[in-house]
Amino acid sequence: MKHDDEFGALVGEPEEVLRIFESMPVMLAGLAGPRHRFAAVNRAYRETFERAGYVGRPWGEVFPEAAGRQLTEMMDRVYETGVAQARDGWRVQVANPSGGRVEERCLDVVVVPRRDIAGALTGVNVVTVDSAGRSPHPRDVTVALQRQLLPPGLPVLPSVRIAGSYLAGGTEDAAGGDWFDAVPAPGGQVVLVAGDVAGHGVPATAAMGQLRAVLRERLDATGDILAAVAAADRTAPGVPGGPATTVCVTLLDPADGTLTYCCAGHPPPLITGAAGTRFLALTGHGPLGTGSAFGVRRDRLEPGELVLLYTDGIIDRPGRTPAAATVELASVVHGATAEQATTRPLELLAGRTGHTDDIVLLAAQRIVPVPPLHLRLPCESAAIRQTRAALGRWLDRHQAGDEDRSALAHAVGELVTNAVEHAHPDRPGGTVTVTAELRDDGEARITVADDGRWRERTRPGDAGFRRDHGLGLLLAAAFADHLDVGHGVHGTTATIRRRMSRPARLLTAEPGGGDGCPAPETMLIVDQPRAPGNRVAIHGPLDTGTAARLARELDELTLGGTCELVADLSAVTQLASAAVAVLFDRPALRLFAPPGSVAHHVLETVHLPHSTTDPHPSGAA
């Protein structure tokens, strides 16, 4: 045995120490100095993260994708204070250079100080355990339950831009009680709700779900915010964990900017815009279920300004007094858009100090309405592409969610295709007209009209029978909430209606993540030579314009149907009826479309057999 000057401890022979260090089943790393330069990592660490050249490099340089995700800050605190810190169930995204992919890992991390023989801090030791295979943590159960109880999306409205974020509590027992909602009201108004149930965990989540449902039902029925708060107040005493719940309910009329709000023990809304940032006055009422009487106050939102509702998790952050945290919140949202107001505080405030409680941020901004879309095009194949491009730009201006964009593009594409192919079968010419508007209640109404004649659907055995006849209307109806079709001597008019929404950011760990790559607008059929069999991946839109090419290439790849081919449809951005007809009656073709993909939705609708699990999960790249 000998004395080690750095660690100040008796250790064994170097070779034996190294063997023990290397064989430990947990990930071990020793970091030196304030920049946390790697001094040593064991085999488990190296094999898990597959990085090269650890020793001598700062931790942030080896893991640049983890910047701003609080682990560096935790190591800083341990190095500065000499006090060990730990966190369980930390979900982090780690880039794997060898595979070029980003993987999410669930880690238990302990950071402890390391001292020299004189007692001076020289660095930190990090012990990490991959906890992905363990039983679900109670916090994970709580967060999963809360995701199911929070609204699936926020309404897309013509005169108001709404955005929201929810960040689960930063400690294992903190998540569970916060919620938000945005409810369209008569006359183009919208009601915004932010609430916070006292307590944490599954009981708080259950109470939140019940109180949110009561408020939502009353707001849907009446739009009266006082009636809704009163109903929740009557309900709270009978809900375990319900009393002392705080809530802020705000009614915004975008026509003149009038704000009517009630704060039941909740922090007041914040208004920001070009003229400055200010907090509204409290309404002076206690939490739900405490015997308070409720009233409202009024204010006004100028054009371009936004109102921000929030819960106290963004105020009660470690190391900050409420006064300082309030000033910081006002500073980071000053002049922000609705999206920025619900992301900047998470990145610049919670990301810097950490957070212990749930955080909800909900913003609504007065905007200039996007004009309706009007197109009048020659009734020819180019109209399909032109309509898709124009509709995409119109939906972009509304910041529609990806699901609505895909659904409306499919539905309108099918209707325009029907007009192009069937309205003028005996003579060229004619026009197709497309109009789109977003109504005050968030419902998109899109009409496709032609000046041709209606054609009844052909049946097997009829002259000119095609399998895809009628599929267009079937798919249009599947992607819309309602489809109405009328026809007469002056042509055919089809109208689809769909209530639009955009997703809120529901975060279980640190904010972040990219927006992803835009969907390609060119069809690509890519061979996958590493697959164990004949396989291709198809990218982009499969519509009338690409159906003929798709048929030719599938025939070539299957040698006229004599050779089996797996077609991966994961990256298909549109699957129109003309392309569906190509996929039918090809017994050599095996289709793979994972759940949630555009292709899966269409194939399920038309009952075309396909696999939802990858037949070559390890060799398709």
Q: Identity (one letter) of the amino acid at 382?
A: A
Q: What is the CATH number of the domain that holds 69?
A: 3.30.450.20
Which of 130, 154, 186 is a domain's end point? Answer: 130
Structural domain count, the chain: 4
Question: What is the pLDDT at residue 215?
Answer: 94
Whether residues 92 and 68 fall in one domain: yes
Instruction: Please say whether the beta carbons of 81 and 42 come within 8 A.
Output: no
The single residue listed with the structure tokens 């339950």 is 145
Q: What is the pLDDT of residues 495-521, one digit of tens each?
A: 999 999 988 887 754 433 333 333 335
What is the C-alpha to C-alpha distance for residues 375 and 448, in angstroms, rounded to an integer?
9
Above 70 in pLDDT, residue 60? yes
Whether residues 158 and 250 fall in one domain: yes
Whether residues 224 and 325 fall in one domain: yes
Above 60 in pLDDT, residue 460? no
Q: What region does 566 belong to: left with phi over 0, alpha with psi -120 to 50, or beta?
A: beta
Above 80 in pLDDT, residue 484? yes
- pTM value is 0.66
Whether residues 582 and 597 fall in one domain: yes
- Three-state SS for 470-486 is CHHHHHHHHCCCEEEEE
Question: What is the pLDDT at residue 10?
Answer: 41
Whether residues 354 and 280 fall in one domain: yes
Q: What is the pLDDT of residues 178-192, one digit of tens each?
A: 899 999 998 889 999
Whether residues 102 and 27 fall in one domain: yes
SS3 402: helix
Q: What is the pLDDT of residues 317-334, one digit of tens each?
A: 888 888 889 999 999 999
Q: What is the pLDDT of residues 414-432, one digit of tens each?
A: 999 888 887 776 666 789 9
Q: Is residue 508 part of a domain?
A: no
Instruction: Please say whether the beta carbons of 345 and 362 come within 8 A.
Output: no
Which of 468, 502, 536 is a domain's end point? Answer: 502
Q: What region does 422 belong to: left with phi over 0, alpha with psi -120 to 50, or beta?
A: alpha
Instruction: Please say whether the beta carbons of 51 and 29 come within 8 A.
Output: no
Distances (CA, A) of 466 to 447, 458, 470: 25, 7, 9
* % of the chain exceeding 90 in pLDDT: 38
What is the C-alpha to C-alpha distance for residues 83 and 65, in angstroms, rounded to an integer?
26
Whether residues 342 and 382 fall in one domain: no
Instruction: Please say whether the beta carbons of 144 and 164 come within 8 A.
Output: no
Question: What is the pLDDT at residue 8?
Answer: 36
- Residue 264: in which H helix or E strand, if any? strand 258-264
Q: State which residues form the domain around 401.
A: 373-502
Beta bridge partners, 151, equal none
What is the C-alpha to C-alpha distance for residues 121 and 249, in angstroms, rounded to an integer?
51
Most confident of 126-130, 371-375, 465-469: 371-375
Which of 452, 476, 502 is a domain's end point? Answer: 502
